[in-house]
Amino acid sequence: MNNSDLAQILIRAVEEADSSDRLLDAVQELAAAGIEESVPTLIAALGYNNPGAAVAAVDGLIAIGEVAVPPLLELIDDYNYGARAWAIRALAGIGDVRALDTLFEAAKTDFSLSVRRAAARGLGTLRWHQVPPEKVESVQTQVLEALLLISQDPEWVVRYAAVTSLETLAIAIAVTLPEQASQITNQLQQMLDTDVDLGVRTRVKFAQEKIQQQQHQEQHQEQHQEIFAPKIKLQNTEVPEVPHRGGGRR
């Protein structure tokens, strides 16, 4: 049986499910198969009044990845709120930069703290290789500005998610955007000093340690290159042949 035949069988099981339990089982099996043809059905499952099936559908869409992004973005404005929230979770998990504007809006303005949290985490898992090289720095700056704002969210779980994304962003831009990276370290220190939630402060300390570890690794690599560069250069330099002193004797 090929993937297409399997997909049709699993999709039919979802469509014919006549109870919440059977629907959950069918969506879980479809999601686990990881077949591209299942994307429309998994997206439809986001709108069912079945949280377990929605969770399974989100996991399946994340596993399938980039091909799920266009249909999610095309339909997101037409969803009921519940389905839209699940769709944002899926987009955040995939980390495709095409969802950037949607994640920005959700992280900043959505009334659901769980959606804001998912969107904030999604801003830290973006796949930077998808951004044209000439636009990477400007997009990273946009993400930083959004995360600095989100890190002041009234809900601690959203601030916690913002910290995780600030950590990954700091590591990503440490060399290319040092000024922006220092903004992150300053913001993290401010949160460590002032945030009222112990969980957030603990996560900040962990982020600071990870960023410092990365900085030390980069400094070590630079020192290593400086030490060995002269030796490598010397090895690659051609040494002129020295004539034998006794070569001219008769």
pTM for the model: 0.80
Q: How confident is the model at residue 250, as a pLDDT?
A: 44
Burial class (CB in 10 A: 0-12, 13-18, 19+), 159: buried
| Sites in the chain below the pLDDT cut of 70 | 1, 77-79, 222-250
First to last CA, the chain: 89
Contact 46, 72 (CB under 8 A): no
Between CA 106 and CA 101 the distance in angstroms is 9
Cα–Cα distance for residue pair 152/130, rounded to 1 Å: 29
pLDDT at 189: 98
Rounded distance between C-alpha atoms, residue 150 and residue 107, angstroms: 7
For residue 234, what are the CA distances in angstroms to 178, 224, 230, 237, 241?
33, 16, 6, 5, 15
- Residue 83 makes CB contacts below 8 A (sequence gap 6+) with 46, 47, 54
For residue range 62-99, what is the model confidence (pLDDT) as tens digits?
Answer: 999 999 999 999 877 666 788 888 999 999 999 999 99
Question: Which tokens is 230 given?
Answer: 């002269």
Residue 234 token pair: 């010397």
**Pick from 102, 119, 104: nearest CA to 155:** 119
Q: How big is the chain by its Cα radius of gyration, in Å?
A: 26
What the block records as the tokens of 199 is 């969980």
DSSP sequence for 40-52: HHHHHHTTSS-HH
- Which position has the token pair 């980069």? 218
